[in-house]
Each structure stands twice: as structure tokens, then as C-alpha cells.
Amino acid sequence: MGYLQTDVTKVTTKVLQNMKVNGKKIAMITAYDYSMASLVEAAKIDVVLVGDSAANVMQGHKTTLPITLDEIIIYATSVVRAVSRALVVVDMPFGTYQGNSKQALASAIRIMKETGADAIKMEGGEEILESIQRILSAGIPVMGHLGLTPQSINKFGTYAVRATEDEEAERLQRDALILQEAGCFSIVLEKIPAKLAAEVTAELKIPTIGIGAGPSTDGQVLVLQDMLGITQQFKPRYLRTYGTFGEDISNAIRHYIADVKSGDFPNEKEQY
């Protein structure tokens, strides 16, 4: 299958860079546990993101703010056990890097040492540059994240599309160049106009990964539970679902309950 990076045994930041140069799209998806990460790895995804979206889909929080460093480390450790080929990127949780570059480095080192992941991701531009530089100087690869950065939801006040006005669009373009100059290996662009994402992608040498940022980014990312149709009541325009697994799981559980209640399960073959 020509669209898969079947020729690599390990996806590295260098492989992603080559994919951009060669015009090959990068597929990234989130995972938070061993079982799902095994399936994602078997399907030959390029990048697995242990996103702080775990706060939403695994923990049931309304925002991504509550997840802690200890918690994301547990998720990431489980994912890394399942993945050998894909690049594993772990989100730095809210409050573990903003405003204190020494704390940022300590947080990033904990993630790398305790999980065995390949890289970390941080939300923000110039305002977190010192933290990014300190982490990069320790040899830890950093993926940036611009546009709708959910850890700033209380500042934005809305999950609406970002950078629709010139001022914010120009700031985003500046921030993207600052992150590239600092040494980030890739940048996630979340929920920004497709035209702006195309311009940023064309301007940068490093790959961009879009979510709600149109077709021109170098890759795409979706939250696993969203694209599988497990997440209920979350249907943004950018989301394409590849199944109705929420319904399928509920139906399977209903079926199991009915079989237990009726005495149909276990049958003669299902006993010793």
C-alpha cells in the first residue's frame, strides 16, 4: 500500500521531516492505553499522541486542564509498551511548563525517563519559548501546538475557530517561525482557517499536523475516540468518523446482559 511508510522500522523526527520533503502525508492519532495503542500500532500509524485530551475522553473532565503529570505518565507508559514503530509524543499537561523553564525541563525529563516516549508536545508560541529552548537543549524533541490551544480555553472563552482576524493570524505565523527557529521538529495547527494553515505549512521547513486546519497541512491528527464514533455529543465540522463503535459497544454490552439474564451464557461449550 503506497500511502503507508512501510519502509521504516521506526518513525523518527527525521522520518517525518523526509515525509514533508517528499510530499508524503503524516497520519497521527491519539491513544492513552495499551489495548488501543496496540491496534493503532498494528495499523501502522506514523505518530501516536498521548494527548492531554485524555482529561476529556479518559477522565470525563470538561477541559484538558485537570490532567496531571503523574496521570499522563501512566497513560504514556501503557502506550509505549504497545508501540515500537510509531513515534510516540506525549503532551505536557497544563501547569507543568508555563512560566518556569526549569520546571518545564524537569517535567519533560520525567516524561522521557519514566515513559520511554520519543518526544513531548507543548501548547503556545513566543510566551513559552524559554521553556522550549531549555527542553530542546537537553536533547528532548519538542512538537509545538498553535491555534486553538485547549489549555488556554479560559483565556479564549470559546472553542471557536482561532486566527480568523489578521492580528491573530500574523501572530500565529510569527509564532510558527519562532518555534521552527527554536528547533521544534513539528507543529500542530488546531482549528484555524485552511488558507492560513496552508500559508504556514508552505512557509515552514518542519512538518505541520492539522486538526480542523484544512487539507494542506503535512499531516492530520484526530482523537481516537472521536474518529471511532465512541465520543458522544462531540461533532465539530472537521471531525470525520470511521465507525459507530460507541453504538456497537453499547449493543454488545446489552447483548451480553441479555444472555446472562436469560441463562444463555455460558453454554455447554463455554464451561469446564
Q: Which of 119, 213, 223, 230 binds ligand KIV (CB under 6 A)?
A: 223
Compute CA 42 distance to the chain's CA centroid, rounded to the nearest angstrom.
18
The least distance separating ligand KIV from the CB of residue 72, rounded to whole angstroms, comes to 10
The least distance separating ligand KIV from the CB of residue 211, rounded to whole angstroms, comes to 5
Contact (Cβ atoms closer than 8 angstroms) between residue 163 and residue 169: yes
Q: Does 30 bind ligand KIV (CB under 6 A)?
A: yes
Q: Does 188 bind ligand KIV (CB under 6 A)?
A: yes
Q: Does 51 bind ligand KIV (CB under 6 A)?
A: yes
Provide the phi-psi class of 64: left if phi over 0, else alpha when psi is between -120 and 50, else beta: alpha
Amino acid letter for position 173: Q
Q: Which is nearer to ligand KIV, 53 or 101 (CB)?
A: 53
Cell of 151: 489549555
How many CB atoms are located within 10 Å of the residue 254 CB?
10
From residue 65 to residue 94, the character string flagging contacts with ligand KIV as x (rule: CB under 6 A) and all else as - is --------------------------x---
Q: Helix %, strand %, coil % for the chain, to 5?
A: 45, 15, 40
Q: Does 187 bind ligand KIV (CB under 6 A)?
A: no
Q: Does 212 bind ligand KIV (CB under 6 A)?
A: no
Give the chain's largest Cα–Cα span.
70
Q: Does 124 bind ligand KIV (CB under 6 A)?
A: no
Compute CA 197 distance to the chain's CA centroid, rounded to the nearest angstrom.
17
Q: Does 197 bind ligand KIV (CB under 6 A)?
A: no
Cell of 48: 501516536
Radius of gyration for the chain, computed over Cα atoms and rounded to the nearest angstrom: 20
Q: Which is nearer to ligand KIV, 112 or 148 (CB)?
A: 148
Contact (Cβ atoms closer than 8 angstroms) between residue 241 and residue 227: yes
Please identify every residue annotated as catalytic: 190
Q: Which is nearer to ligand KIV, 105 or 188 (CB)?
A: 188
The least distance separating ligand KIV from the CB of residue 121, rounded to whole angstroms, comes to 7
How many CB atoms are located within 10 Å of the residue 166 CB?
8
Q: Please tell me whether residue 254 adopts helix, strand or coil conformation.
A: helix
The least distance separating ligand KIV from the CB of residue 88, rounded to whole angstroms, comes to 13
Q: Does 29 bind ligand KIV (CB under 6 A)?
A: no
Q: Which of 46, 52, 118, 218 binds ligand KIV (CB under 6 A)?
A: 52
Q: Which is nearer to ligand KIV, 35 or 250 (CB)?
A: 35
Q: Does 210 bind ligand KIV (CB under 6 A)?
A: no
In 3D space, the residue among 201, 15, 47, 41 whose CA is nearest the CA of residue 120 turns out to be 47
Per CB under 6 A, residues contacting ligand KIV are 30, 49, 51-53, 91, 188, 190, 211, 221, 223
